[in-house]
Amino acid sequence: MDNLYLTYKVVHVISVISWMAGLLYLPRLFVYHCSADIGSDKSETFKIMERRLLRGIMNPAMIVSYIFGILMLLELGEAVWKMVWIQVKVLCVFGMTIMHLKMGKWRKEFENDKNTRSEKFFRVINEVPTVLMIFVVFLVIFQPF
Ligand code: HEM
């Protein structure tokens, strides 16, 4: 592997860590936000934290993860698609992206004081990116099939 490819990988792993940090933390903020009264200082503070996390960290980190992941795919060429693990990984990344978009929608609902979902719902949702992440890391490291 040449240095350019390894540099892509470094940037990819750093941006994936930042993206995951947000995907794991934002639903936790939603859990706490559920118990804050509408219009309270606590609720308004959560709104700021959620907006900054999504816009300042998660959106850019997701974009950079995609760019550098795709750059590596281009370097690897067509042959990489013969490996099943990469196909499964792409499916997991698709799932991660759907979670990201859903979180954006829920954040907007909180911002407009229109959340209807329960604390329990966000506790369960919190586990989805966790499970996907564990699975993806096993896949990329073991490349089992
Ligand atoms: C956003 C779309 C993504 C694309 C297009 C993508 C693509 C890739 C590609 C092509 C590689 C290089 C594999 C190799 O050299 O063997 C790679 C490495 C890696 N990816 Fe991703 N990936 C994406 C998202 C993710 C996510 C969400 C995670 C973790 C949750 C992740 C974790 C990793 C890790 C840890 C490596 C380094 C593996 C190693 O070489 O040991 N990637 N990715």
pLDDT in tens, the chain (145 residues): 799 999 999 999 999 999 999 999 999 999 999 999 999 999 999 999 999 999 999 999 999 999 999 999 999 999 999 999 999 999 999 999 999 999 999 999 999 999 999 999 999 999 999 999 999 999 999 998 9
Query: What is the predicted pLDDT for the residue at 133?
Result: 97
Q: Please give the backbone phi and psi of residue 9, each rounded to the nearest 5 degrees, phi first.
A: -65, -40
DSSP-assigned states of every residue in 82-133? GSHHHHHHHHHHHHHHHHHHHHHHHHHHHHTT-----HHHHHHHTHHHHHHH
Q: How far is the CA of 93 from the centre of ligand 1 (A)?
A: 9
Residue with the smallest CA separation from ligand 1 atom 22 is: 69
pTM, whole model, 2 decimals? 0.94
Atom of ligand 1 nearest to the CA of 133: 30
Q: How far is the CA of 140 from the centre of ligand 1 (A)?
A: 6
Query: What is the predicted pLDDT for the residue at 132?
Result: 97
Query: What is the predicted pLDDT for the residue at 1?
Result: 72
Query: What is the predicted pLDDT for the residue at 4?
Result: 96
Residue with the smallest CA separation from ligand 1 atom 43 is: 69
8 A C-beta contact, residue 47 and residue 106: no
Which residues form the pocket of ligand 1, taking CB atoms under 6 Å from any ligand atom? 9, 12-13, 16, 20, 65-66, 69-70, 72-73, 76, 93, 96, 133, 136-137, 140-141
